[in-house]
Amino acid sequence: MKLEDLVQVSEIEWEIPRHFRADMRVPVRLFATREQLLQIVNDRSLEQAVNAATLPGLVGHVIVMPDMHQGYGFPIGGIAATEYPTGVISPGAIGYDINCGVRLLASTLEFQSVKDDLDTLATLLNNYCPSGVGKAGAMKINLRELDRLLEGGSHWAQKKGFATDADLARTEETGRLKDADPSKVSDRAKKRGQDQVGSLGAGNHFIEVEVVDQVFDQKAVQVMGLHQGCLTLQIHCGSRGLGHQVCTDYVQRFQASVKKYGINLPDRELVCAPMDTQEGKDYLGAMRAAANFAFANRQILAHSARRAFEEAFRGKSSAHLYQVYDITHNMGKIETHEVDGKEIMVCVHRKGATRAFGPGSHELPSEYREIGQPVIIPGSMGTASWVLVGTEESMTRAFGSSCHGAGRMMSRSKAKHEVRGDQLRKDLEAKGIKIRAGSLPGLAEEAPQAYKDVDMVVETVVKAGIAKKVARLKPVVVIKG
């Protein structure tokens, strides 16, 4: 696709009209500057957004955020809503890492008072939070216990002593999706996830210690318990091998489903099934179970991170990490939204997009209902991350969604070819960032130059009115697989 194919709606809003291609069921709406679009047209993500607009049962628009880039079938940074229960659900529109998400915790520790202890903290975090490809987690459980975890998510973790009431209250869906069905998760998926509970994984997953660098909304930071100069910790990971296998299993199964239900698609990677069919119900049950695995996984990692903080800063009561929020950015959720002036139930597919509900939503903890939902936007390694809040406009224009990060601009293979991991480590450490990484090639894959400018991505969604700035975070410790 070319930039000329898009209709400009405003400085940061564009549309691919429904008549662009005969098989489109809804238009595509993009939030991006012209400069960001010039980066986007270098891959197939716009074509993927048009392909996504052909899914049966779609309502409103297919929406794409400024961090968009090419994914499996469906663009990363994309949102699509299908009417429930007759519309379809598509595993490719949710992603392989089901419930990949971000958890933000904070302390009252002042960076200046503990900066000399950060090297010790980095080592402890690296020791207590296993990371790397195929790495085993902090605990091993049998298959019967795994089924309980798949049903209970963070609630299972609380029963095991890894979570508090406050942790659950400040997690999307309290850390447990209802109607999860472990029986719809294959034995292979369970075996892949069985020993990975409490592990970070590799790729773009990380644990990062940050300092609140700038404050933009004093009221919101007070509600969240943040203040300028305090230490925070961010965990970015998902459902590990279990979630990947669930997606693999159902993408394969749905190849037959599209033929069975007479669904014609321009890309076989978008295979789907109506939600009111057995296939659709089975995937929903399995996806929710994988999502619960991810919630429990991040909860146990948070418990391990708390242990590291308390040991590194022994004797300081301010070392306790309390939860700000835990939010997913790869999920299919049944929600009620207003479409064409009418409230309807839909399945919102968010792939590389964060839920961003506005003030007043009963989905939020009581303390956040006045300010809106916290939205956590990690940057690329060594650059800033952001805390935002959702807005009422997000509800009406983007199915209560926002961006999820910086967004890749360079493939992993190209990054490894162009960036030397040892030099990158030196560059980051020269900026005062403590690095613990499983491999130098893995470090190179996630180099800052492989990603878009997260500050500009955030600026775009703020200009669009779908999120508001709360605080900017600067990294001081990075743990990667």
Answer for the pair 326, 102: CB distance below 8 angstroms, yes or no.
yes
Among the listed residues 61, 236, 337, 404, the single catalytic one is 404
Six token digits for residue 215: 């404050």
Whole-angstrom Cα distance, residue 160 to residue 154? 10
Q: How many CB atoms lie within 10 A of CB 112?
A: 9
Tokens of 353: 């997009």
**Cα angle: 108, vertex 114, 115; to 5 degrees:** 125
Q: Which residues of 187-197 are buried (b: 16+ CB within 10 A; e: fewer)?
A: eebbebbbbbb
Strand partners, 474: 211
Decide if 404 is catalytic. yes
Instruction: Give the integer Cα–Cα distance in Å for 240 and 253.
Output: 21
**Residue 234, strand partner residues:** 104, 208
For the stretch 308-312, contacts whose Cβ atoms lie closer than 8 Å and that sit 24 or more positions apart, written own/partner, are: 308/121, 308/124, 308/125, 308/127, 308/128, 308/129, 309/107, 309/121, 309/233, 311/124, 312/117, 312/120, 312/121, 312/124
Closest CA to 392 of 376, 373, 375: 373
Interatomic CA distance for residues 31 and 20, integer angstroms = 18
**Alpha-carbon span 466 to 364, nearest angstrom:** 17
Active site residues per annotation: 404
